[in-house]
Amino acid sequence: MISKRKLTVAALIAVIGAMTVITSYSVTLYRLFCQATGSNGTTQRVAENTSTPTDRIVTVFFDTNVAPGLPWRFTPVQRSVKLRLGEDAIAFFEAQNLSDHPIIGHAAFNVTPEKIGIYFKKIQCFCFNEERLGPGEKVQMPVTFFVDPRLATDPSTTEVHEITLAYTFFESKRPEGAIDLARFSAASPDAQAGAALFAAQCAGCHALDTSKIGPALGNVFGREAGSLPGYPYSTALKNAHLVWTADS
């Protein structure tokens, strides 16, 4: 018969073993919890957008940071985008390695207000991978996302009209399997991404076939920049003598 002392020792060993396992995996478990619940502003990852856009509009601002010791420059190409709930949007971020050797980075992220995390859905993002950037290399990286229309039915988010998506790049602690950021520079033109970018950043002022705040862009090729009457062009644009082409 097993003595009480042996049973007690066995129970203590089991408890210590369980605590060791929990401690070892606590970071992973916490990350999975945040991903599932949106806790602490953790955004969601999805394969595609199957929602229907609504009329409610939100503005998404972008904030970028680099951890101390990482010799990178990291900035958003645009300060913000406006989009309807359920509408795909694309934003670009620029990263440059200021060192003379390759560095692998990893981007941490969140949104504020933090309660929006469960509704902020990313389809494509450099933050999904460990990313390698060559010495002196500069790239522009797209992020494709949408804000779930269910945000409009949540009583706790009725006052939310502005969201901030923030990133901080750190030097990677797990460089295995890193992907080259150079893939973005070598990528072929993407018409769908271009349409989403136009809708997010240009459509407020321009259309292809009608004039809005700015002139129509449908027949812009061959036109000299700043040449149409009736628009308050800057002096620099009027004096640029630039003719719009597929390259310019």
pLDDT digits (tens, 9 = 90+) for 145-168: 999 999 999 999 999 999 999 999
Nearest to 127 by CA among 91, 153, 102: 91
Using a cut of 0.85, tell me whether the model's pTM lies above it.
Answer: no
Residue 133's φ and ψ, nearest 5 degrees, are: -125, 125
Check residue 26 and give its pLDDT. Answer: 45
- What is the average pLDDT value for the chain, to the nearest integer? 85
> Is a pLDDT exceeding 50 seen at residue 174?
yes
Distances (CA, A) of 238 to 226, 228, 234: 5, 10, 6
* Side chain identity at residue 180, one-letter code: D
Return the ∠ at Cα 132 (arms to 143 and 49), rounded to 5°.
Answer: 20
Range 112-132 average pLDDT: 96
Q: Give 50-96 as a DSSP string.
A: -----S-EEEEEEEEEE-TT--EEEEESSSEEEEETT--EEEEEEEE
Range 215-229 average pLDDT: 84
- Which two three-digit tokens encode residue 176? 């295995």
Predicted confidence band of residue 36 (pLDDT cuts 50, 70, 90): low
Residues 92-108, buried b or exposed e (16+ Cβ, 10 A)?
Answer: bbebebeeeeebbbbbe
- Which two three-digit tokens encode residue 49? 């957008």
Range 99-111 average pLDDT: 96
* Secondary structure class of 22 (helix, strand, coil): helix
The label of the residue with tokens 């750190």 reads 170
